[in-house]
Amino acid sequence: MTERSRCVQSTPRAILLLLGGFLFLGPTSLYCQRSALVDVATIDRTRILSGAELYMKEIPQTVTAFSSPRSAGGIHEYFSEGDYWWPDPKNPEGPYIQRDGMSNPDNFNKHRELMQRFYRAVSTLAAAYKITHDEKFVAQAVRHLKAWFVDDSTKMFPHLKYAQAIKGKVTGRGTGIIDTIHLIEVARSVEILSGSPSMSNTDELAIKQWFTEYLTWLMTHQYGIDEREAKNNHGTWWVAQVATFAHTVGDTASLSFCRTRFKSVLLPNQMAADGSFPGELRRTKPYNYSLFNLEGMALTCQVLSTSGDNLWEFTLSDGRNMRKGMEFLYPYIVDKSKWPYPKDVMYFEYFPVRQSSLLFAAIALNEQKYVEAWKTLDPDPTNAEVQRNVPIRQPVLWVE
């Protein structure tokens, strides 16, 4: 059986769906591959079901529930403020100044927190549905999905024009696109829920239309272009987002674009000969950012790899590839005390957590040691800064 036929058979709706001008052919990537190395569903079953029962009781809340007087947008428009920007002691009412790596706790973060709450609820409910086939989990997930993407009174508009604003400087930035990494697992959940009787065709089409519109904005708005061209993890996570959303709506042209960009831009421009990411190592949080960038690249490979074009195996002429990236960071994930670079200025003690890159690489590269490391790490970190950097919380959605 080919990878593609195996993937299609494991998908709730393996039918052809014409949506927004794109022909959706069902999953074509290897992230639905089955692994003999690890049974994620068994490992996470208790965790998933206990979490899902809690989320069954949770009422949806979207960006319309809270607003900030500093936002230049309306009630339906997502707003956040740049993390590392603070009032100027010399001019308290003037433009903010940067303190790189130091998060300002007084900035407006409520929309980001609500989006994280949303993705944790939907991904956990989708995971519970995947392992139990209980429709009650789908019905609750659809409530959240419709509130965010469909219902006129509560939905978020599909753009990020006002994300990571800086008081006195800009009303929004391309940098803010990093905030929607928390919609990545929502998009994957939509694919898992597809075909369930509790998700109507009308609702599914409306939800996917939201992602189609947001994908178009990411690809065409100047903020999206700015983020695409970022030389560090921001550029990586732009590709990871576009790839995931394109997979959900069946945009094959964008999937192809992202595969090419991984090979021609991300890997050659960001990875050094030893597998490190110099653009992250020279920042104020070199450990966290190195892990974060590896997560983005691993997810990109997981989403985009096919049996005919496996990005996990793609290697540049000088030998750089994902295995090198994994091998560089692996010793410091297992034993952070060996980290030879400066410690992060904040939150160094909270990392690593259960890195999805370990699991994805273990399966793709057939490395048992990555599985063993993955099993030892915390799957549910509670620190807010860590949660911001962990967009994959339910790995069962990504593997069989």
Residue whose C-alpha is closest to residue 227's, from 160, 311, 284: 160
pLDDT score recorded for residue 3: 33
Section 203-216 average pLDDT: 98
d(CA 357, CA 240): 13
Section 8-34 average pLDDT: 39
Query: Longest Cα pair distance anywhere in the chain, in angstroms?
Result: 68
Tokens of 241: 């987002």
d(CA 326, CA 233): 16
**Mean per-residue pLDDT over the chain, rounded:** 91
Q: Tens of pLDDT along 130-142? A: 999 999 999 999 9
Q: Is 94 left (phi over 0), alpha (psi -120 to 50) or beta?
A: beta
Contacts of 365 (CB under 8 A, 6+ apart): 312, 322, 323, 326
Q: Tens of pLDDT along 250-291? A: 999 999 999 999 999 999 999 999 999 999 999 999 999 999
The pTM (predicted TM-score) of the whole model is 0.91
Instruction: Give the H or E element holding residue 180.
Output: none
pLDDT score recorded for residue 28: 46
pLDDT at residue 22 above 50?
no
pLDDT at residue 27 above 70?
no
Q: Tens of pLDDT along 296-315? A: 999 999 999 998 999 999 99
pLDDT score recorded for residue 11: 37
Section 55-59 average pLDDT: 97
Which domain, by its residues, includes 317? Answer: 3-397
Residue 392 in 3-state DSSP? coil
Residue whose C-alpha is closest to residue 355's, from 296, 273, 308: 296
Query: What pairs with residue 162 in β-bridges?
Result: 79
d(CA 184, CA 295): 13
pLDDT at residue 83 above 90?
no
The DSSP secondary structure of 80-127, one letter per residue, reads EE-TTEE-BTTBTTS--EE-TT---TTS--HHHHHHHHHHHHHHHHHH
348-369: b (≥16 Cβ within 10 Å) or e = eebbbbbbbbbbbbbbbeebee
d(CA 200, CA 325): 42
The DSSP secondary structure of 62-82, one letter per residue, reads -GGG---TT-SS-TTS-EEE-
Band of residue 12 on the pLDDT scale cut at 50, 70, 90: very low
Tokens of 226: 């700015």
Question: Any idea of the CA torsion for 276, 280, 286, 287, to the nearest 10 degrees?
Answer: -50
Q: Apex CA 384: angle with CA 380 and CA 385, to 5°?
A: 105
Residue 134 sits in a domain of what CATH number? Answer: 1.50.10.100
Count of CB atoms situated within 10 Å of the CB of 155: 18
What is the number of domains present in the chain?
1
